[in-house]
Amino acid sequence: MAEAAPQYLALPSGLLELCALLGAPRDSLRGPEQVAQKKGVKSLSSLDPEVLSVFVPPFVTKEDSQPAGVSCVTLGKTRRRSFRKKRERPKAEPSKGHPGGPRGQDPEDVGIPNGVDLLALPQLCFPGGVCVASEPKEDCVHFLVLTDVCGNRTYGVVAQYYRPLHDEYCFYNGKMRWEASGLGRSAAGCFVPFAVCVVSRFPYYNALKDCLSCLLTHLKICKDFEVDNHIKDFAAKLSLIPSPPPGPLHLILNMKPLQIVFPSRADPESPLIDLDLHLPLLRFRPEKVLQILTCLLTEQHVVFFSSSWALLTLVAECFMAYLHPLQWQHTFVPILSRHMLDFVMAPTSFLMGCHLDHFEEVSKEADGLILINIDAGSITYSNDEDVDVPDIPLLAAQTFIQRVQSLQMHHELDLAHLCASTDLNEGRACRRAWQQRLNCQIQQITLQLLVCIFREVKNHLNYEHRVFNSEEFLKTRAPGDQQFYKQVLDTYMFHAFLKARLSRRLDAFAQMDLHTQSEEDRIDGMLLSPRRPTIEKMASRKSSAPHGAHRRMVVSMPNLQDIMVPELPPRNSSLRKIHTEDCGSSHTVLDMPSKLTYTFKIPEIHFPLVGQCVQAFHADCVAQLSKAMDSLAPENSVLLARYFYLRGLVQLMQGQLLGALLDFQSLYKTDVRIFPADLVQRTVESLSAPERAQAERTPELRRLISEVMDKPEDVPKADDRVKNFELPKKHMQLDDFVKRVQESGIVKDAGIIHRLFEALTVGHQKQIDPETFKDFYNCWKEAEAEAQEVNLPFSVMEQLDKNECVYKLSSSVKTNRGVGKIAMTQKRLFLLTEGRPGYVEISTFRNIEEVRSTTVAFLLLRIPTLKIKMVSKKEVFEANLKTECDLWHLMVKEMWAGKKLADDHKDPQYVQQALTHALLMDAVVGALQSPGAIYAASKLSYFDKMKNEMPMAVPKTTSETLKHKINPSAGETFPRAIDGLLYTPGHLDPAEKVEDAHPKLWCALNEGKVVVFDASSWTVHQHCFKVGTSKLNCMVMAEQSQVWVGSEDSVIYIINVHSMSCNKQLTDHRSSVTGLVVQDRAQAPSTVYSCSADGTVLAWNASSLQVTSRFQLPGDGLSAIRLHGGRLWCCTGNSIVVVTTAGFLHQELKIGENFKEISTSFLGFQLVPEQEQLWAACAGYDDIYIWSLQDLAQPPQRIHLQDCSKINCMIRVKKQIWVGGTGLSQGRSKGKIYVIDAERKTVEKELVAHTDTVKTLCSAEDRYVLSGSGREEGKIAIWKVE
C-alpha cells in the first residue's frame, strides 16, 4: 500500500495579515483646484475612498531570488474587486485603453485574509470620508476591530497622512502627477489624505501605531512612485516577525528611530494587552465605569460616542479587558462610519462606536440604546422607558470605587523627582514600564470586582451533573441586588462563565477566588454537612448591621473582619452606603507580586527582500535565540520555554521541520502550557518520507510523533451544557433520586442519599413521587432559611466556638432549667432562654451518657419529654418538647453516636455525617406529616444503629497510636482510592509566601487527581488539580521546589511547589512509570532516577531535566527502585537486581531460588542499612522475608503476620518497618498495619487502620506515619511513631 503523501504545511502567520494603502480614486481628484481657490476654505468636499494597493504575505518564497514586488497590486476605481497578485508590478498605461476594459486572467489570486472585507475597509479607514484640505493637517491614527462570519477577530491600525496635490516632483506610476490625474498647476494649496492600514491577528494597538509612525516619516518625503515600495518593505518586515508566545518574553523590533516593543499575553488564558487601560478612568468617574460595566454584563445595546475615532476603539477594548475572563459574546463594532449608522437598529445586543457628530441623529432614530459620551464622561439613554439598567451589587461597587481612587494614574507625578531623559527610547521604556504596572493594578481591581460579584456562584453548582441552582442563588442575594443578578443570569456571557466554572477551569477568576479565599471558606469546602452561618460570621454580621448591609451579603465572603471600615463615602449619591469588610481591604489594591518581564531583540532585516536576505534573517534569529538559551540558567525554565517556542517557529520558516519539532518537544520539559499542539500535528503530517524515517530514529521525536498520530480523530465532544435546577415532574427510582438530590445541592454523598430514599419510601413502593420530593425540598430550604435568620445576642456568642453553627432551634419549651428554645450545634446542645435572652449549657455531645424519650404527667395529660443524662452531672436535663420530642430524640441520639465514633476513630467527619442525617430527619418529618414520619426518619439513624447493633470497640493499641483522620474525597459523590502519599517539609523559601511555607501532604487519587493538604492544620491547601488522567504510581520531592509524579500513562509530571501548577512533563519513558528516587548532592544538582514497567531506568538532572544516563533491565515488571550504597536496587517481580548507577549488574536475588513450591513474585521491599538487611513481601504469602545484604544467597528469615490476607506496601521509619495491607479484625476484613521492630524482628503492633485495604504508606519526618486506604473508604489516617 502506497504511503500517503505528506500534506502541505501552512506556516503560522507573523504579526502582519495585510497592509493596504487607501485614498481617493484619481478620477475624483479632477478639478478640485476650482474650489481650492476660494478664500477662507479650509477643507474641501468629501470624496469616497477606495483601496489603492494591497500587500499580503508571503513576500518571498523559497524559489524567489528577485525582489518581491509581487504582492502589490495597484488598483483603479473601475477595476474589479477580486484582486490578484502578479509576479511583476502592473504598469499603469492609461493611453492604451480604458481602465475598465476587458482584462486577461491574472495568474494568481491575492490571498485576502478571512475577516477583512476590502469593500468595507475604505469606509472604516476614512470613517468621516476623504476630505481634500487647503492646508496640511496633522497625521492621525485610529483603530479597527474586524470580525468574520465565524466570530474571529482581526485588528487594524490606520494611520492617515496628507500629501500636497500640486507637488511637481511627485510621480505616480512614472507619470507626473498632473499628467496622471489631469490636474493643472493651479491646484496649489490642495492636500490629499491617504491612509495606511495594517491588519493583524493580534491587538497590537500601541506597537503598530508606533510602527506606522515610523513609516510615515519616510512616506511624507518620498516620491509618489516610491510609496508602494516603502509600504511593501514595511509590510514585509512585519510579516517576518513571529508572534511572541504567552509569558514574560516581549519582542523588540528596531524601526528607526523607535524601538518597538511587541508584548506577549501574560498566560495562555489571558488577553493580549497593548493599550493604556486607565484611559476610561481618565474620562469617567468610577461610578460611571461601574454603570458601563453593568450595561455590558446585562448585555444592553451600547453605543460609545467621541470626537476622536481613536478613543472609540481604545475605550471599548479597555472595557473588554475589564470583563476578563468573562467575554462579550455579541456584535462588537467600535467604529461605525457615517454610512453604517443603520447598524444601531440591530435587534440583538451590541457594542458599537460613532463619531460625536452623530449623537443626536442616533439617539432620535433608535430606542433602547445606552449612549456613552466618552468626551463628556456621561451616560444617557435614548428612551428611558425601554432601558432597565440595574445597580451593580453594592458591596462590590463600594470596594471598587475606593480601590480605583487609590490608583496613581498620572505618570508625571512619578517623573517629578527624576532628571529628564536624553534618550528617546529610554524615556519610552520608562513610560512603558510604568504603564505595565498600572495596567496590572487595574486588571487586579476589575478582577476582584468580578470575584466579589460572582464568588458565591460556586456554592450553587453541582459539578457532577453540570447543574446551576439559580433560584437558590438569587435567594441569597441582597434585595437591592436582585434585579442585577436576575438580568445577568440570563445572559450569554454568564452562561459561558458557568461553563468554565463547571469545567473547573483554573482561569484568572478561579485563581483570584482561591487567592482571596478565607481560611473558613477553605475548610467549608471539606465539609460534608450543609453550610450554615458560623458564630464568627454572625458576629461579623452584627458589627456590620449599622451600615445597612443585608444579612445575606456576608455569606461566603472572605472573612477579614479586622479591617477598619473606611470613612470615605461613595461619590455616587445613588449608591447606598455599605460595609466593605467582606471584600477585603477596600482602600488599597490587593498586593500581587509583580512579574518579571524579559525582552528579545529581533535581528535587523536587510533589503532588498530577496530569498537570501530572508534566509540570513532566519539564521540570525536562530543564532541569537541559541545564544540567549546558552546563557540561561536551567532553573529559568519559563524563559527557556519561550526561546524554544520562538526558535521552533523560525525553524519552521526555514523549512527545518525536524529541528522545529525538537524545539517544540522541549516545551514538555520547560512549559507545556504553550505547546502548539495543532501546529505540531500539521508539521508531523507534512514530513516527507526521509524526514519521517529520520524522526522515527530520534528517541525524543518518536514519542512526540506517536502521540500526534495515535490521537483519535473523531473524539466526541464532551457535553458542556449547563442545566438549571428544576424540581422533578416524574416518579423517581433510586438512581434518578440520587441524581436529583445531588443536583439540588442538598447532599452529595451517595450512601446518605440511599438512606434518605429508604426513609421517604417506608411502607410504599420503592419510588418517590414529585410531590413528596417537592415537599422534602421545600422543608429543607425552609430550615436552611431559618438557620440564616438565627440572631444570637453577643452574650450567647461569647460562650460558643467561632466555627460553631446553629443548625436547629426548637419551639419555645418548658425545661427544668427555664423556658426557652433548645439549640443544636455540631458540638453541643444549649438553651436559649426567653425574656432576657441568655445561654444555658445543656451538654456537649461528648458528655452525654443517656438520651431517653418519655412522658411526664401534667394534670390529666401525659406530655412527651426528652431526658438527657450527662457524664459529669448528676442532674438530668428535661424538656417538655411535646410533638417535637420524638424528632429531637432521634437527632440527639444520632449526634451523640456520631461524636462517639468521631472520638473513637479520630475522624471528625463522623460528626459531619451525623449532622447531615439529623437535618435530613427534620426535613423528612416535615415533608411526610404523617403518623409514620418518625419511623421513616429513624431510617436515617445510621450511626445510632451502628452503635447499638455492632458495638465494636476500636482496639486499644489502634486508639493510642491513631492521631487523626482526613478525607481527601470530601465534597465528592463517592470516596476515591488513595494511590500515593508524599509528605514534604516546610521551607521558608523566598519565592513562597509565609503561609505557603508550611509542610504539605500530597495525596494522589485516581484519574490523575492530586489534593494538597496543609500538614500543619490538615486543611486543604489547594483542592484537586489534574496531572494527566491515569493512575498515579509514585511521588518524590526534588530540590525543594519540585514534586515529581510518575503515572500509568508513562509520563512524569513535575509540579511546581510555589505556584502549585503542573507545567512540565518528562516523556522519555515508554511504559508505566513505577518508581522514583532522588540522589541528593551537596553542590551539584540532584539526580533523580526513574523506572518504568518495561525495565527502563533513566537518570535525570533535576535542574536541567535532561537525561544523563539510561539503561535497560532484562524482562518486564520493574515495580520499584531504591538507592543504597551508591547502587540502585530494582524490584522486577521475579527478582531484586542490584546495579550500579551506570546499569552494570552487581547482584541479583531471584525469587525462584527461595520459593520453589509455589509461583510467586516480589510485591515490594525495603532496605535496612543499620542491620544490613533486605526486607521483602511476596505475593500470596502472609510473611515478611529478611535477607542479609552480606550474602543474598543465604535463606531468608521469616516474620509471620497474623490474620494477614494481603500485603500492599511497606516503609521504614526509624528502627521499625510498617507493613500495610488487608487482614481480619473481630471477624471482619479490614485494612491493617503491622509495625515490626527491625532489631528484634517481632510484630510490635497490629493497627486496624481502615475499613478498606491499606494501599499506601508514607512517613512525616519519622514522627508520624500516614496511611491511605482503598476506594471503599478513601481516607488518610495519621499515626504517631513511638
Q: What is the pLDDT of residues 835-876, one digit of tens each?
A: 777 899 999 999 999 999 998 877 667 889 999 999 988 889
Residue 756: its pLDDT value, please?
95
Whose cell is 422533578? That residue is 728
Residue 117: its pLDDT value, please?
82
Residue 1030 confidence (pLDDT) above 80? yes
What rounded mean pLDDT belongs to the chain? 83
Bridge partners, 21 (sequence order) = 53, 196
Grid cell locating 305: 460616542
State phi, psi for 857 to the nearest 5 degrees: -80, 135
Rounded mean pLDDT of 1046-1068? 90
Question: What is the identity of the amino acid at 528?
Answer: L
Q: What percent of the chain has pLDDT over 90?
A: 51
Spatial contact of 896 and 844, defined as CB atoms under 8 Å apart: no
Beta strands 249-254 and 598-601, pairing class: parallel
Spatial contact of 86 and 54, defined as CB atoms under 8 Å apart: no
Residue 451: its pLDDT value, please?
96
* Degrees to nearest 5, angle at CA 260 with 255 and 265: 145
What SS3 class is residue 525? coil
Residue 1274: its pLDDT value, please?
92
Which is more confidently placed, 25 or 329?
Answer: 329
| Burial (CB count within 10 angstroms: exposed 0-12, middle 13-18, buried 19+), residue 1187 | buried
| Burial (CB count within 10 angstroms: exposed 0-12, middle 13-18, buried 19+), residue 865 | buried
Spatial contact of 877 and 816, defined as CB atoms under 8 Å apart: yes
Residue 588: its pLDDT value, please?
52
Which of 602-606, 783-787, 883-887 is modeled with the greatest confidence?
883-887
Nearest one of 174, 224, 171, 168 to 194, comparing CA atoms = 224
pLDDT bracket for residue 64 (50, 70, 90): low
Residue 636: its pLDDT value, please?
87
Spatial contact of 95 and 153, defined as CB atoms under 8 Å apart: no
Residue 168: its pLDDT value, please?
45
Cα separation values, 1193 from 1143, 1188, 1215, Å:
22, 9, 25
Q: Lowest mean pLDDT: which of 299-308, 593-602, 1044-1053?
A: 593-602
pLDDT bracket for residue 187 (50, 70, 90): very low
Nearest one of 726, 1275, 740 to 981, comparing CA atoms = 1275
Which of 219-228, 728-737, 1178-1187 is modeled with the greatest confidence?
728-737
Residue 580: its pLDDT value, please?
41
Q: Can you give the pTM of this predicted structure?
A: 0.86
pLDDT bracket for residue 970 (50, 70, 90): confident
Grid cell locating 574: 445613588
Residue 988: its pLDDT value, please?
54
pLDDT bracket for residue 154 (50, 70, 90): very high
Residue 391: its pLDDT value, please?
92
Rounded mean pLDDT of 625-629? 95
Rounded mean pLDDT of 749-766? 91
Nearest one of 253, 249, 280, 277 to 265, comparing CA atoms = 249
Grid cell locating 1186: 529478611
Q: How far apart are CA 829 and CA 899, in angstroms?
A: 13
Residue 528: its pLDDT value, please?
55
What SS3 class is residue 1005? strand
pLDDT digits (tens, 9 = 90+) for 77-124: 333 333 433 333 333 333 333 333 333 334 345 567 766 888 889 999
Q: Length of the chain, please?
A: 1282
Q: How far apart are CA 476 and CA 385, in angstroms?
A: 29
Which is more confidently placed, 724 or 164?
Answer: 724
Rounded mean pLDDT of 434-457? 95
Residue 698: its pLDDT value, please?
87
Cα separation values, 1224 from 104, 182, 1205, Å:
93, 107, 8
Rounded mean pLDDT of 618-645? 92
Q: How far apart are CA 801 and CA 913, in angstroms?
A: 20
Q: Lowest mean pLDDT: which of 38-52, 701-715, 1185-1199?
A: 38-52
Residue 778: its pLDDT value, please?
94
Element (H, E) at 943: helix 942-949
Write the DSSP string, 729-796. Answer: -S-B-HHHHHHHHHHHTS---HHHHHHHHHHHTTTS-S-B-HHHHHHHHHHHHHHHHHHHH----HHH
pLDDT digits (tens, 9 = 90+) for 1222-1280: 988 877 888 999 999 999 999 999 999 799 999 999 999 999 999 999 999 999 999 99
Q: How many CB atoms lie within 10 A of CB 387?
A: 17
Residue 498 confidence (pLDDT) above 90? yes
Q: How far apart are CA 178 and CA 171, in angstroms?
A: 9
pLDDT digits (tens, 9 = 90+) for 891-938: 999 999 999 999 988 998 899 999 999 999 999 999 998 888 999 999
Rounded mean pLDDT of 273-287? 96
Rounded mean pLDDT of 988-1015? 78
Element (H, E) at 1064: strand 1061-1066
Which is more confidently placed, 1164 or 79?
Answer: 1164
Rounded mean pLDDT of 781-801? 89
pLDDT bracket for residue 572 (50, 70, 90): very low
Spatial contact of 604 and 254, defined as CB atoms under 8 Å apart: yes
* CB-facing half-sphere around the CA of 667: CA atoms within 13 A: 24
Residue 454 confidence (pLDDT) above 90? yes
Residue 76: its pLDDT value, please?
36
